[in-house]
Amino acid sequence: MLESAEIGHRVSKAAYVRQLPKLREALLNAQYDLAQKRRGPLLILFAGIEGGGRSETANTLNEWMDPRHIRTVAFGPRDCEELARPNAWRYWRALPPRGRTGIFLNAWYNEAIVAHFKGRIDRDALEFQLTSIRHSERMFVDEGFSILKFWIHLSRDAARQRLKELARQKDRRWELTPDVLERTKSYYKFRDVCEEVLRESSTSEAPWYVVEGEDPRYRNLTVGNIVLETLNRTNAARAAPLRMSHSPAPAPPAIDNVLLVRSLDLSRKLSEAEYDKAMPKWEGKLARLTRTRRFGKHSLVLVFEGADAAGKGGAIRRVTGALDARQYVIVPIAAPTDEEKLYPYLWRFWRNAPGHGGITIFDRSWYGRVLVERVEGLASAYDWRRAYDEINQFEEQLVGGGAIVCKFWLQISKAEQLRRFKEREKTSFKRFKITPEDWRNRKRWNDYEHAVADMIDRTSTEIAPWTLVEAEDKRFARVKILKTIATRLSKGLD
Amino acid sequence: MLESAEIGHRVSKAAYVRQLPKLREALLNAQYDLAQKRRGPLLILFAGIEGGGRSETANTLNEWMDPRHIRTVAFGPRDCEELARPNAWRYWRALPPRGRTGIFLNAWYNEAIVAHFKGRIDRDALEFQLTSIRHSERMFVDEGFSILKFWIHLSRDAARQRLKELARQKDRRWELTPDVLERTKSYYKFRDVCEEVLRESSTSEAPWYVVEGEDPRYRNLTVGNIVLETLNRTNAARAAPLRMSHSPAPAPPAIDNVLLVRSLDLSRKLSEAEYDKAMPKWEGKLARLTRTRRFGKHSLVLVFEGADAAGKGGAIRRVTGALDARQYVIVPIAAPTDEEKLYPYLWRFWRNAPGHGGITIFDRSWYGRVLVERVEGLASAYDWRRAYDEINQFEEQLVGGGAIVCKFWLQISKAEQLRRFKEREKTSFKRFKITPEDWRNRKRWNDYEHAVADMIDRTSTEIAPWTLVEAEDKRFARVKILKTIATRLSKGLD
């Protein structure tokens, strides 16, 4: 697929000057349309052969369009904050919001290609990364993104010519790092890797556009026209993003009506004496483990889900009691803010991914997508169904970045919930915990139960398993949670 | 003021156990009240003598209260992201939003005390820092914060005793760094520095509470009660924060009605030939300067203000045309988002402070406080009047962190604005630039002119001067802006 970009495409100056004013006006119009309709965002990736003019093209787009609506980010070596977090964190942090355009230079593709070319990752690892990239891009498209991937190409002769030119320019000579020279020297080997990556990652939702980089006029005009066409298409689409042709499979029906959460033995309990003996043991273990040097290479992500009044808050306070307040952040999840609504639903969780040595405790979480949003009809069936895979991938990325992920579902009976609601209404300092919404949710108990069953079926993975907690007895629940965290942490740090 | 915390305060276990349940319940209640009313936030600073139990007290507060509404942050050595930005950036980043509590361990006071104790800053520099701290704290209080500053104290004997205990504990021995040992060895010298800092920074709006740290029960109970009392006071206050007794002075009246902005010679212009000669020169200079190694120790903050249609957007595009798209971020300022509204008005600008080597371009800015918010009555007279000093301090902090700050006021005549409005309505690709609000603003032209005059009077400082731009002729304006940036940058990098 690269040959057609090695044949010396050119545009004459006359043709360029003739086409440019119209193109620029149309681009501005399309851009303002996107902003006003809050469509998109448009994400433009530039990758390619060294010297092909990726950043020059990015600069040109900024010049032609309104740069106030564009955010251009180049990804180089990771800084310390990025190194302490999952690989994808820095890309999420740089995502454009709806209505805007983001330009990424040397993002995930460059990273994968160079790693493989330099032998740091083998073919299997490369395949794995490409699969993960395909999933992510598909999710972004499902979330309304338009993704444009430009491969700015040069033939071997043109690439060599470019290096020579660079070497002659005093203030750009520094760009010729040993890496760059190596890639140009082994042009065909490097080109092979690139071609394979392009082939494997050119999908219907986010295809590659290979553009010959030798002639700036041809390159800029080609890229500009494709950007315009994409912006127009994005603006013309219905408000809902384009759906993939193969819809995510529905959950298997629970024919016999036997659900895992219903089969929990809610009569399990601990006496005060047992609690007073067990609790300090696990608290102590957790306290010691989070203060070890080894924990400085890991992080801890705790997810608490459960019906209203299931005891999430109390359990979280028992966990934090064992932790140093400087280490953890508790993120209570309510409806997204208007800023958060401009990004994919996972954005606000990525934002809170802990760095090495840190702990983030989610009081409710991304599982809202397949629980409350599903049950209350806030997400379409297409959207909550695809969320299972997206969530699994998200957690895989967290774990890949050194996180230990513990997810707790706190289960109580409907009768116990009623008892706690009534108790809360009586106790003054708990009064803010009970709202009319809690009473509403209670009416949909059965719907929630099915949603929970599906959620556990589909997202309890080996790397990030769900722990079902019999929470009818608070003492039993709290000890089980502390014990689970301490045990998983102990294993994870080994 | 420290002696009274060196006399061995104690609370018996019986008294502690008796008082605790009531205190905890009251704390929770007050905390939920704060959250529901979106008051505050409450910011608690812990500083003090080594071994006094600052972090233990923070942990206790997290245990007693609902940790989901508390964010505890300890400030140690700066990481690379923090080092590249003004000193105060990391504190702004960690601020609690309205309705929440923030606990800062070893924030700005610790930093100032240790720096002076170790001889890194002299007495004058210390005074300067304390003045800056007083201003900041006052601003936070004006913005609705309640600030509690706890100095957890130990007598010399108690401090030495504590170190011995630490040395015996295997897993805490590492806390005894050479710095800590030095401070305890030179106890009285260190104590003198501390006492002076406390005296100078104990203000009516944010007084210090000196608490003896030796007996944890006494310490925790004292801190807990003060926190409770403060929360209750914050919740009981009227919605508007307490006003300082001395109101900021109003601007001097423009008796003769001669305003600097009116005295600009709007007939200044450049011919196309002059423009084509001047522009490449300054673009080239700017391009070279921002690509030098020296710029890697600085950053550039550009502020564009001006009436609607004064040409801010066009000027910004000429500036970015000379820059590498990877270096700059353009921040268009509109009404704050709901997240931003939970923080002091400068928060969203701090958020976008560029790191070393970076450029942030503000298309409208913090000056909205003394322009649109003043003229439209969105901020009270008290609030916009105090903003002049706050803004000057903010810019001083930016400059202190290596930023070069250029501020442009683009001035056009009322007649020219009308001409441009009409032209815009005709030109399709400019159509999104003209809104009914623009026509409304135009009616208040005179009020804006006075607000602009005051703004320039009070915020054109030596370190961050305003450049008044005669913008009737776009070519003239653009060249003047490019030239100003390039010249200031060139001086700043010397």
Q: Does B314 touch chain A if contact means CB atoms closer than 8 Å? A: no
Q: CB–CB of B320 and A67 under 8 A?
A: yes
Residues of B in contact with A279 (CB under 8 A): none
Determine the residue among B101, B285, B320, B359 to mutate to test chain A binding: the one whose Cβ has the most chain A Cβ atoms within 10 Å.
B320
Q: Which of A5-19, A380-394, B43-57, B250-264 is predicted least confidently?
A: B250-264
Residue of A nearest to B364 (CA): A68
Torsion of CA A189, A193, A194, A198, to 10 degrees: 150
Give me the pLDDT at residue A257, please. Answer: 60
Q: Does A232 touch chain B if contact means CB atoms closer than 8 Å? A: no
Give me the pLDDT at residue B413, please. Answer: 94
Give me the pLDDT at residue B459, please. Answer: 95
Q: Which of A55, A288, A316 has its CB closest to that of B326?
A: A55
Taking 60 as the threshold, does the pLDDT of residue B431 lie above it? no
Q: Does A1 touch chain B if contact means CB atoms closer than 8 Å? A: no
Q: What is the 3-state secondary structure (H, E, C) of chain B?
A: CCHHHCCCCCCCHHHHHHHHHHHHHHHHHHHHHHHHHCCCCEEEEEEECCCCCHHHHHHHHHHHCCHHHEEEEECCCCCHHHHCCCCCHHHHHHCCCCCCEEEEECCHHHHHHHHHHCCCCCHHHHHHHHHHHHHHHHHHHHCCCEEEEEEEECCHHHHHHHHHHHHHCCCCHHHCCHHHHHHHHCHHHHHHHHHHHHHHHCCCCCCEEEEECCCHHHHHHHHHHHHHHHHHHHHHCCCCCCCCCCCCCCCCCCCCCCCHHHHCCCCCCCCHHHHHHHHHHHHHHHHHHHCCCHHHHCEEEEEEEECCCCCHHHHHHHHHHCCCCCCEEEEECCCCCCCHHHCCCCHHHHCCCCCCCCEEEEECCHHHHHCHHHHCCCCCHHHHHHHHHHHHHHHHHHHHCCEEEEEEEEECCHHHHHHHHHHHHHCHHHHHHCCHHHHHHHHCHHHHHHHHHHHHHHHCCCCCCEEEEECCCHHHHHHHHHHHHHHHHHHHCC
Q: Does A105 touch chain B if contact means CB atoms closer than 8 Å? A: yes
pLDDT in tens, A393-437: 999 999 999 999 999 999 999 999 999 988 887 765 555 566 778
Q: CB–CB of A326 and B25 under 8 A?
A: no
Torsion of CA B303, B309, B311, B316, to 10 degrees: 50
Residue of A nearest to B430 (CA): A29
- Given a contact cutoff of 8 angstroms between Cβ atoms, the answer to whether A83 and A52 are in contact is no
Q: Which of A69, A72, A332 has its CB closest to that of B325?
A: A72
Residues of B in contact with A74 (CB under 8 A): 326
> Taking a contact as any Cβ pair under 8 Å apart, which residues of chain A between 268 and 287 contact chain B?
none
- The whole-angstrom separation of Cα B299 and Cα B356 is 5
Cα of B381 to nearest chain A Cα, Å: 29
ipTM computed for the complex: 0.74
Q: Do domains A3-236 and A260-492 have the same CATH topology?
A: yes
Give me the pLDDT at residue B140, please. Answer: 95
Q: CB–CB of B363 and A58 under 8 A?
A: no
Cα of A87 to nearest chain B Cα, Å: 18
Q: CB–CB of A326 and B71 under 8 A?
A: no
Mean pLDDT of chain A: 90
Residues of A in contact with B329 (CB under 8 A): 71
Contacts of A125 (CB under 8 A, 6+ apart): A115, A116
Q: CB–CB of B32 and A432 under 8 A?
A: yes
Compute the residue count for chain A: 494
Cα of B247 to nearest chain A Cα, Å: 35
pTM for this prediction: 0.83
Taking 70 as the threshold, does the pLDDT of residue B372 lie above it? yes
Topology annotation, domain A260-492: Rossmann fold (3.40.50)
Name the band, by pLDDT with cuts 50, 70 and 90, for residue B167: confident
Residue of B nearest to A69 (CA): B330
Give me the pLDDT at residue A440, please. Answer: 83
Name the band, by pLDDT with cuts 50, 70 and 90, for residue A239: low
Residue of B nearest to A432 (CA): B32
How many Cβ atoms sit within 10 Å of the Cβ of residue A443? 8
Name the band, by pLDDT with cuts 50, 70 and 90, for residue B40: confident
Give me the pLDDT at residue A244, please. Answer: 52
Q: Does A23 touch chain B if contact means CB atoms closer than 8 Å? A: no
Name the band, by pLDDT with cuts 50, 70 and 90, for residue A243: low
Taking 90 as the threshold, does the pLDDT of residue B81 lie above it? no
Q: Does B334 touch chain A if contact means CB atoms closer than 8 Å? A: no
pLDDT in tens, A350-383: 999 999 999 999 999 999 999 999 999 999 999 9
Q: Which of A35, A58, A320 has its CB closest to that of B325?
A: A58
Cα of B351 to nearest chain A Cα, Å: 14
Give me the pLDDT at residue A262, please. Answer: 82
Q: CB–CB of A79 and B74 under 8 A?
A: no
Q: Which of A142-146, B360-364, B420-424, B447-451 is predicted least confidently?
A: B420-424
Q: Which of B59, B68, B432 has its CB closest to that of A325?
A: B59
Mean pLDDT of chain B: 90
Cα of B326 to nearest chain A Cα, Å: 5
Q: What is the mean pLDDT of residues B358-369?
A: 96
For chains A and B, CB pairs below 8 A equal 115
The encoded tokens of residue A399 equal 């774990």
Q: Which of A1-15, A195-209, A273-287, A421-435 is predicted least confidently?
A: A421-435
Biggest alpha carbon distance in chain A? 89
Single-letter amino acid code for the residue at B357: G
Give me the pLDDT at residue A171, please. Answer: 64
Give me the pLDDT at residue A224, please. Answer: 97
Name the band, by pLDDT with cuts 50, 70 and 90, for residue B171: low
Q: Does B71 touch chain A if contact means CB atoms closer than 8 Å? A: yes
Residue ranges per domain, chain B?
3-236, 261-492
Q: In terms of Cα–Cα distance, which of B36, B35, B41, B142 is closest to B94?
A: B41
- Given a contact cutoff of 8 angstroms between Cβ atoms, the answer to whether B471 and B477 are in contact is yes
What is the percent of chain A with per-residue pLDDT over 90, rounded to a whole number?
Answer: 72
Give me the pLDDT at residue A17, please. Answer: 93
Taking 60 as the threshold, does the pLDDT of residue B182 lie above it? yes
Cα of B56 to nearest chain A Cα, Å: 8
Q: Does A56 touch chain B if contact means CB atoms closer than 8 Å? A: no
In the sheet that holds B359-363, the strands lie side by side as: B328-332, B359-363, B299-306, B403-411, B466-470
Give me the pLDDT at residue B409, please. Answer: 97
What architecture (CATH level 2) is domain B3-236? 3-Layer(aba) Sandwich (3.40)
Give me the pLDDT at residue B473, please. Answer: 97
Q: Does B330 touch chain A if contact means CB atoms closer than 8 Å? A: yes
Of A78-87, A447-456, B237-246, which has the strongest mean pLDDT? A447-456
Q: Which of B55, B66, B171 has its CB closest to that of A325?
A: B55
What architecture (CATH level 2) is domain B261-492? 3-Layer(aba) Sandwich (3.40)
Give me the pLDDT at residue B374, please. Answer: 94
Residue of B nearest to A84 (CA): B79
Give me the pLDDT at residue B239, please. Answer: 56
Q: Which of B55, B316, B326 has its CB closest to that of A105?
A: B326
Residues of B in contact with A355 (CB under 8 A): none
